Every structure is written in C-alpha cells, then in structure tokens.
Amino acid sequence: MIILDGGMGRQLARIGAPFRQPEWSALTLMDAPEFVSQAHRDFVESGADVIITNSYAVVPFHIGEDAFTERGAELLDMAGRLARDAGESGVRVAAGVPPLFGSYRPDNFDPERAPAMLATFRAHLLPHADIALAETTSSIAEADAFLSAFAGCGKPVWLGLTLEDDNPEAGNPKLRSKEALGDALALARERSVDAVLFNCSQPEVMADAVERARQDLGPGISVGVYANAFPPKPDAHEANTGMSPIRADLTPERYRQFADDWAAKGASIIGGCCGVGPEHIRALRDLEDAT
C-alpha cells in the first residue's frame, strides 16, 4: 500500500499560514513559504510515502491572469523545490496538476488555453517530482488534455478523477461532468497511465468507483483513493466562494474504516484530500503497518 498525504490547503489554514480567497493555498506560497514546508513535514511525519506539491492554486482562476503570467513559472518551481526539500529518504513527490479553470467546473474548461498552461506545469514543476499527478479532473476533455501534455514525460503518470457525489447512482459512478466513469477508464487504459485515483469526492462514493476501475483496468494499472471531508457538492457549487464546512463525523477512525474497504476492493494507493489532516494519514499508516 502507498500512503499519500492529506489536504494541503486546510492544513495550511490550521497551522496559521496566510490564507484567503481567491488565492487559497497559493497565498502561502507567495507570502510565507516556510508554512508550506511545515505542512509537508507534518504529513511526512504522519507516515506519507508520497507528498503532493502545493501547486493546486497556481492557476489564473486563483491568482489572476497577470500573476500567473508574471510569476506562474517561479511559483511552480518553488512548489516543487519545497516538496522535494521536505521529503525524507524514500518519500516521493507528486507534481500536482490542478483543474486549470476551477474545481468541479468542467463547463469552464477551455481546450484552446489548456495546452500552454499544462506545458508550464510540465516545464517548471515536473523536474522536481517523481510522479505527474492530475488532480480533481472533472471531465474526459480535461483528462485528455493532461494526458496529452504529459505524454512521454519519463515519469509515472497518475490520473486523479473527481466523482459526482451530490446525487450518485449506486453501481454507476460518474464524473462531475456526468460522463460515465467507464469512458474515462477506457481513456486511461488507452493512454497506458500508471494509476487512476479518485479524489476530492465524499468517501461514500469511492468504493463503487474502485470496483469498476479494478474490473476495467486490469492488473497493470494501480487504483487509488484520496477522498475529501466535505459534504456533497451540488452541481451549482462555485469554487472560490468561501470555506466549505468540514464533516465532524469523519474522524481518523472512520476514515480508516473507509480505507479498509477501498483496500479490500483493490485500491493500493490511499490518502486524503480537502479536510483530511495528518491525524487521518497517521491512522492510514497505522493500518498499513498492522497488515
């Protein structure tokens, strides 16, 4: 089992880092990068095998068009270096490539602008990392753009998909775009990704997706999960409109129970997304060490 880290943004807020909308976690990168290093160390000390760069908000949607043009390359380079420096021996770094035009908003995806932005991530973030990771991918078009941009990059490619969790259909998981998960899995198989992960959706919807992925992908592609601690997000949800609440019921022990089920169904990479903290990752580490 590979243990990922947890949600960087909420951990930064928890430890007192500069943090606000719309910059989100990028504000800490710009104003107080020492907090980014501390957050990475918190997850490493909790037992993470892979830490994800603090690059999720380094897009115009969060920092603005001018700042991305002027500082995007610099900030991505810094995010990569901070993650690499925080990792201990044996801890790998994943270059986190976010949704470019807003979380959970496949309708905002711009296929004409995406390639140049993705090329910036590849050129300035990937050199510091061991893995290329697309995070919170909401549609097949987004997935296709990422996989095209990182084809032949010489490092493992992990595709992170976010699932419909506001009104899910049991046994028929879908992306937030309402596209069938099976179609996204077919693309992943065609492009020979190294892993498909399900992230930034409620824990309750992940098991069906793991089962479907394990069935469709075959033994050569790993399957993983890093769920969030948010209530379900409706279709009309707008990113950057405020801090989402965190579920009080999703304790480390409860999260570990979900993880147990995902592992039993074939997930071999497990961590946490928004609101999942070092204490949750420690519970996952303890579960892995006990097996």
DSSP 175: B
> What is the band of 241 on the pLDDT scale with cuts at 50, 70, 90?
low
Burial letters 205-236, b for 16+ CB under 10 A, else e: bbbbbbbbbbebbeeebbbbbbbbbbeebeee
Distance CA 39, CA 168 (A): 33
pLDDT higher than threshold 90 for residue 261? yes
The pLDDT assigned to 240 comes to: 52
Which of 156-165, 226-235, 242-251 reaches the highest mean pLDDT?
Answer: 156-165
Tokens 């095209």, located at residue: 148
Residue predicted with more confidence, 201 or 232: 201
* Confidence at 263, pLDDT banded by 50, 70, 90: very high
The chain-wide mean pLDDT, for the chain, equals 94
Q: Under CATH, what is the fold of the domain 2-290?
A: TIM Barrel (3.20.20)
Condensed to tens digits (0 to 9), the pLDDT of residues 62-111 reads 999 999 999 999 999 999 999 999 977 889 999 999 999 999 999 999 99
Q: For position 234, what pLDDT does the model report?
A: 55
Name the amino acid, one letter, at 234. Answer: P
> Confidence band (pLDDT; 50, 70, 90) for 188?
very high
When pLDDT is averaged across residues 247-266 and rounded to a whole number, the result is 95
The yes-or-no verdict on residue 147 having pLDDT over 80 is yes
Q: From CA 103, how far away is CA 237, in angstroms rounded?
A: 9
Average pLDDT over residues 119-143: 98
How many Å is the Cα radius of gyration of the chain? 17
CA atoms of 173 and 182, how far apart (whole Å): 8
